[in-house]
């Protein structure tokens, strides 16, 4: 099994995906263990002094003015975890919790938090044992970190609360730790605070969304090309020289992908009844511009994610010169903004895909295709309601595109008077990515059927490969009406599994 070694300088997006989704094992580097020990010496020295230090010998948030005596400090750290583990609502997904824990471990290993090496080892051991804390949908405002979600994770390390075992069964965390031979941690000064003061949940969801969207944007280029082909559109608008004079990188990549998919098609450039079509509708002609803008948005979001992956987010932090200083680095604004930006871009990609689907089904705009791609229109309804489903998904995508980061609700007696709502932005982006997958699946279903209905004209080799693969995956072709939901589910699974991209790349090589 792949092993991820966590050092002091952060981790990569690939590391996060390997741990969150593939169950990769984790090891701490010798450098990280040494940095943890060195920072802990500084915290211990400060704890022994009479002067109060925030997070070490004081209360938290609006209660930071109280100096806590040494005999109460262990209780203080336990209490912050217990009281902050106040989430509500459904459980979040296992991969999200694993990413959350791993990214917190990444920051702990930076040597900037003052946590002891044994606490970091316990975090790694729990992940390696497949123990996943129960974390709830609601509880984070995206400032002072993802407090409630991280607190539920810290609670598990203490042997309290509930967690999911490697068998998928939720049980008391103490039992799971005992079975795995892991001793619960006894938190000391600053450690409870350090375990729950980061942007790890929203960052983990950003990284996973970017991975999913990369595949979906390539898939959308393929389905857009199939729709252009089915509509007898012109590929001339995809010429590289046209995109070179508006040099947005994503636009050029999207156009190049579509052009490569269409290479060898006998369908493009034909016109109904010999009447020349000077230009196609925007949803066809401007596909690279819309998809390309989304790609460029992803590039910016990746830059933010990379910077955050290299960060040590905690408050207070242990600096290299030995100072322990309060700061505001836990504010989730940088991550929250790009999460919202991606939801906007995803909604627009879904919207333009739906417009192409609608055009394929409308006999007045489809250039000779049967109404709703039906076998016997009137007796058969064809894909009429598949487009309704797609439209409902697009409408939901537009609601999900309303920014969460534009909101702020003051908390902690006005000490935390401006928050990012980054966790909420991440949660709705996950739903948006899910819906975008379904929207692209409906276009794939309609476009493959439409291409097959163009009898006498050969589709591009890449298009033909996609049609054959989709049919082999259980998505049926043209014919009389049938129970449609299973076909749509099969198309969704085909897109979700990355098979659109995989199939095309076997024919034309890597997509951009």
- Which residues face 26 on adjacent strands? 4
Query: Which token pair is 54?
Result: 């925030």
Q: What is d(CA 61, CA 144) in angstroms, rounded to the nearest whole number?
A: 9
Q: Percent of the chain beyond pLDDT 70?
A: 97
pLDDT tens-digit profile of 270-307?
A: 665 566 667 899 999 999 999 999 999 999 999 999 99
Q: What is d(CA 253, CA 289) in angstroms, rounded to the nearest whole number?
A: 10
Closest C-alpha to 509, from 260, 240, 227: 260
> Mean of the pLDDT values across residues 361-382?
96
pLDDT of 275: 62
Closest C-alpha to 460, from 219, 258, 264: 264
pLDDT of 319: 93
Between 315 and 150, the more confident residue is 150
Residue 236, C-beta contacts closer than 8 angstroms, at least 6 positions apart: 269
Residue 89, C-beta contacts closer than 8 angstroms, at least 6 positions apart: 136, 137, 138
> Mean of the pLDDT values across residues 418-446?
97
- Decide: 366 and 360 in contact? Cβ < 8 Å: yes
pLDDT of 47: 87
pLDDT tens-digit profile of 488-511?
A: 999 999 999 999 999 999 999 999
Q: Given its phi and psi angles, is residue 391 left (phi above 0), alpha (psi -120 to 50 degrees) or beta?
A: alpha
- pLDDT band at residue 476 under the 50/70/90 scheme: very high
Cα of 426 vs its chain's centroid, Å: 7
Query: Which token pair is 473?
Result: 């995956």
pLDDT tens-digit profile of 161-194?
A: 999 999 999 999 999 999 999 999 999 999 999 9
- Which residues face 25 on adjacent strands? 3
Q: What is d(CA 198, CA 231) in angstroms, rounded to the nearest whole number?
A: 50
pLDDT tens-digit profile of 203-246?
A: 999 999 999 999 999 999 999 999 999 999 999 999 999 999 99
- Which residues face 21 on adjacent strands? none
User: In terms of DSSP H, where are the helices of 265-382?
Assistant: 282-285, 287-309, 333-361
pLDDT tens-digit profile of 78-131?
A: 999 999 999 999 999 999 999 999 999 999 999 999 999 999 999 999 999 999
Using the Cα atoms of residue 260, residue 242, residue 347 and residue 268 in order, give the sign of their dihedral. negative
Q: For helices 200-230 and 333-361, what crossing angle results, to 10°?
A: 20
pLDDT of 71: 83
- Given a cut of 70, whether residue 39 has pLDDT beyond it is yes
As annotated, the active-site residues are: 54
- Please, how many CA atoms are within 13 Å of residue 226, restricted to the half-sphere of its CB? 32
Query: Token pair 């024919």 is at which residue?
Result: 507
Query: What is the DSSP code (8-state) at residue 191?
Result: H
Q: For helices 422-453 and 333-361, what crossing angle results, to 10°?
A: 20
- Which residues face 380 on adjacent strands? 377
> Mean of the pLDDT values across residues 16-45?
96
Secondary structure in 3-state letters for 474-508: CCCCCCCCCCCHHHHHHHHHHHHCCHHHHHHHHHH
List b or e across 67-76, with b for residues whose CB sees 16 or more CB atoms inside 10 angstroms: ebeeeebeeb
- Decide: 104 and 120 in contact? Cβ < 8 Å: no
- Please, how many CA atoms are within 13 Å of residue 271, restricted to the half-sphere of its CB? 9
Q: Given its phi and psi angles, is residue 339 left (phi above 0), alpha (psi -120 to 50 degrees) or beta?
A: alpha
pLDDT of 358: 98
Sort strands 136-138 and 3-6 into parallel, antiparallel or unpaired. Answer: unpaired
Q: What is d(CA 31, CA 35) in angstroms, rounded to the nearest whole number?
A: 6
Q: Supply φ then ψ for residue 197, to 5 degrees.
A: -115, 60
Task: Provide the 3-class DSSP secondary structure of residue 57.
Answer: coil
pLDDT of 70: 84
Between 470 and 328, the more confident residue is 470
Q: What is d(CA 230, CA 11) in angstroms, rounded to the nearest whole number?
A: 45
């Amino acid at each position: 099994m792949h092993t991820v070694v966590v050092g002091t300088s952060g981790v990569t997006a690939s590391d996060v995906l390997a741990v969150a989704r593939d169950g990769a094992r984790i090891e701490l580097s010798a450098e990280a263990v040494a940095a943890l020990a060195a920072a802990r010496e500084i915290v211990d020295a400060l704890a022994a002094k009479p002067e109060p230090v925030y997070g070490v010998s004081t209360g938290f948030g609006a209660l930071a003015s109280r100096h806590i005596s040494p005999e109460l400090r262990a209780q203080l750290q336990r209490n912050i975890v217990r009281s902050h583990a106040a989430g509500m609502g459904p459980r979040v997904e296992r991969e999200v919790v694993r990413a959350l824990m791993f990214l917190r471990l990444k920051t702990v290993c930076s040597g900037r938090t003052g946590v002891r090496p044994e606490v970091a080892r316990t975090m790694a051991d729990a992940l390696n044992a497949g123990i996943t804390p129960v974390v709830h949908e609601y509880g984070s405002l995206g400032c002072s970190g993802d407090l409630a979600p991280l607190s539920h994770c810290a609670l598990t390390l203490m042997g309290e609360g509930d967690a999911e075992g490697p068998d998928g069964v939720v049980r008391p965390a103490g039992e799971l730790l005992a079975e795995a031979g892991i001793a619960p941690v006894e938190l000391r000064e600053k450690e409870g605070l350090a375990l729950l003061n980061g942007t790890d949940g929203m960052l983990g969801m950003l990284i996973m969304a970017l991975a999913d969207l990369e595949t979906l944007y390539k898939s959308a280029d393929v389905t857009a090309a199939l729709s252009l082909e089915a509509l007898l559109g012109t590929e001339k608008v995809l010429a590289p020289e046209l995109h070179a004079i508006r040099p947005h990188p994503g636009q050029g990549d999207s156009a190049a992908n579509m052009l490569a998919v269409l290479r060898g098609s006998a369908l493009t450039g034909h016109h109904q009844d010999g009447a020349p079509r000077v230009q196609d509708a925007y949803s066809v002609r401007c596909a690279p511009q819309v998809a390309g803008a989304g790609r460029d948005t992803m590039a910016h979001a990746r830059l933010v994610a990379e910077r955050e992956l290299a960060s040590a987010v905690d408050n207070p932090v242990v600096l290299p010169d030995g100072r322990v200083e309060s700061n505001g680095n836990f504010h989730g604004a940088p991550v929250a903004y790009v999460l919202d930006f991606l939801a906007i871009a995803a909604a627009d990609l879904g919207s333009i895909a739906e417009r192409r689907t609608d055009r394929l089904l409308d006999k007045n705009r489809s250039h000779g295709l049967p109404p709703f791609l039906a076998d016997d229109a009137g007796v058969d309804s064809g894909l009429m309601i598949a487009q309704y489903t797609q439209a409902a998904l697009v409408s939901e995508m537009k609601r999900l595109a309303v920014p969460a980061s534009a909101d702020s609700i003051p908390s902690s007696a006005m000490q935390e008077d401006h928050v990012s709502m980054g966790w909420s932005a991440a949660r709705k982006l996950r739903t948006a990515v899910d819906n975008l997958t379904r929207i692209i699946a409906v276009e794939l279903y309609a476009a493959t059927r439409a291409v097959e209905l163009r009898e006498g004209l050969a589709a591009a080799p890449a298009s033909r490969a996609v049609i054959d693969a989709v049919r082999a995956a259980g998505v049926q072709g043209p014919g009389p009406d049938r129970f449609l939901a299973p076909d749509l589910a099969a198309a969704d699974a085909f897109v979700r599994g990355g098979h659109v991209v995989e199939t095309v790349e076997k024919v034309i090589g890597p997509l951009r």
